[in-house]
Amino acid sequence: MEYKILYPEAYPLVAINLQKGEMVKAESGAMVSMANTIDVEGRAEGGIMKGLGRMLAGEKFFFQTLVANRGSGEVLLAPSALGGVVDVELDGSYNLCVQKDGFLAATQNIEVSTQMQNLSKGLFSGEGFFIVKISGRGTVFLNSLGAIHAINIPQGEERIIDNSHLVAWPEYMQYTIEKASKGWISSFTSGEGLVCRFRGPGTVLIQTRNPGGFGSWVRQYVPSSK
């Protein structure tokens, strides 16, 4: 399967060339255009129960499955968010944890499922009780709000990252949730609430914009109803 990320710095599209018999799974509603040799259908990844888990996590219930049944052809996919798209190659040696809005598409040998965080992480993480776990061998396409930036954390070192800027990280990385500032008053006045303290080695992908902050910025320009 050949692919290219078009316009990576502004409103990207993922162009995927499927050979006959190849398929790609994508978030519901991601298809922009496809060749007439390709069929698209909606299905719940892993069956109804996993689909319900995704729905409880705030994700869409169905995936799109695009299959080149009648010959090769091109598929164009786009995310909903105003941000970047990156490709991640998984070799099957580790699972990838993704914030619940970060998955765009994946090749056919990739499995996508929800995973409940433990109680302390679930209560204090900006991502709620669920994250998306991606496993298998193949290519995963992730999207973000703003651009995606990789933070490489060496062995034994730590890095503090605002929860709302997280996109993805390897499941083997250790992290804890904590307050950014000492005391709730200080946290409120600093504008920083809860953060993740990651310990290396590993690479964490972050997004350059905070969804909550972006929403607050947009709302100030929306006329209030009377």
Which pLDDT score is estimated for 78? Answer: 96
Tokens for 126?
A: 């900006």
Q: What is the DSSP letter of 61?
A: S
Report the top-level CATH class of 2-219.
Answer: alpha beta
Q: Give me the numbers of helices (H) and strands (E) for the chain, helices first please.
A: 4, 18
Q: Write the pLDDT tens digit of every residue in 152-177.
A: 999 999 999 998 899 999 999 998 88
Amino acid at 197: R
Both tokens of 223, joined, read: 């006329």
Question: Mean pLDDT lowest for which of 93-97, 139-143, 177-181?
Answer: 177-181
Out of 18-32, 111-125, 200-214, which region has the weakest mean confidence (pLDDT)?
111-125
| Averaged pLDDT, 4-10 | 89
Q: 10 vs 16, 120, 127, 128, 153, CA distance in Å?
A: 18, 37, 25, 29, 27
Which 3 state secondary structure label does DSSP give 85?
strand
Chain Cα centroid distance, residue 164: 12
Per residue in 66-114, pLDDT (tens digit) is: 999 999 999 999 998 889 999 999 999 999 999 888 999 999 899 988 7
How much is the pLDDT for 179? 78
Q: How is the chain split into domains, by residue range?
A: 2-219
Q: Return the pLDDT at 46.
A: 52
Indicate the pLDDT class of residue 186, thresholds 50, 70 and 90.
very low
